[in-house]
Amino acid sequence: MRSNTVESIEFETGSVWSSDGTPIGYRRIGRGPGVILVHGAMMTGRMFDGLARALAQDFTVYAPDRRGRGMSGTVGPDYGIEAEIEDLAAVLRETGARYVFGLSSGAVIALRSALALPQISKLALYEPPLSVGGVSPLTWAPRFERELDEGRIAAAFATILQGTADVRSFASLPRFVLRPLTTLMMRLDIGAGMPVRDLVPTGRYDVQIVRNAGVRWADVSELRCDTLLLGGSKSVGYLKPALDQLHTVLPDAGYVMLPGVGHTAAFTDEQPELVAVELRRFFG
């Protein structure tokens, strides 16, 4: 049993300037070696509060808002994965952290960053949605992008929920049932610190990151940092081939499949402690 004293500790906030002048805001908690948590689509760093608290007795945890969200600046005209790498590099320089955890599209960014930034000494990846064998994880994306272009935010939300199937309770609903629900949810804050109607359009940037990931398996095989691969036994099936392929090219990496959880296990309102157990063991 771990102490609950950290529950009374408040998060602090900070910010850094990325190389193009974009401010990148972050939340910080804890003490010890630095760990940076890189979030995925439909998220801000705030949605890692539960995971951050679970790690805070052993680590100083930094949860940045990726650009275009929360405390950080706009994406800018030259947005792409290189900008995300520069943003993470700026946080690494400011904090001195050397450990990185990435979830979903955040795991894609973390992986590409580890290939470019030698200061990352330990890398934990939770289900990066990478294409394997020509099978795309983005079959739903053209419809999503079209609905965003048409200003149909609630419809786009329904599309990303069904397309990613991250939340099974929503993904299994017929669209004629799901669509009115997403309309009602537009004003809700799902823990991100911003309403759903503002969060949904940021999914366009994650589509761009995954679509243009530029991950070459031969390069990944040369990765020099310690690596941990994580997944959930209840995650949708298209996510597992990428983990398997990563383990093939990184045979010395740890590989843990968490029982009874899915892609969103690290979210505060899910089971972040299960993820934290593995991260403490790996980063410790």
Q: Residue-wise pLDDT tens for the chain (284 aa)?
A: 455 556 668 899 999 999 999 999 999 999 999 999 999 999 999 999 999 999 999 999 999 999 999 999 999 999 999 999 999 999 999 999 999 999 999 999 999 999 999 999 999 999 999 999 988 999 999 999 999 999 999 999 999 999 999 887 888 899 999 999 999 999 999 899 999 999 999 999 999 999 999 999 999 999 999 999 999 999 999 999 999 999 999 999 999 999 999 999 999 989 999 999 999 999 99
The total number of structural domains that make up the chain: 2
Q: Is residue 2 part of a domain?
A: no
Examine the domain organization and report whether 219 and 237 are in the same domain. yes
How many Å apart are CA 168 and CA 162, to the nearest integer? 8
Q: Which domain holds residue 275?
A: 12-134+215-283
- CATH code, domain carrying 83: 3.40.50.1820
Same domain, 18 and 66: yes
CA distance 167 to 60: 30
Boundary (domain end) residue, out of 207, 240, 255 = 207
Domain boundary among 207, 227, 248: 207
Q: Report pTM.
A: 0.95
* Nearby residues of 104 by Cβ (< 8 Å), 6 or more positions away: 40, 41, 126, 127, 128, 129, 166, 206, 263
Cα separation, 47 vs 259, in Å, equals: 21
89 lies in the same domain as 117: yes
Residues 120 and 19 in one domain: yes
**Whether residue 91 is found in the same domain as residue 219:** yes
55 and 83 assigned to the same domain: yes
Nearest-Å Rg of the Cα atoms of the chain is 18
Tell me if 7 is assigned to some domain.
no
User: What's the N-to-C CA distance of the chain in angstroms?
Assistant: 17
Residues 238 and 113 in one domain: yes
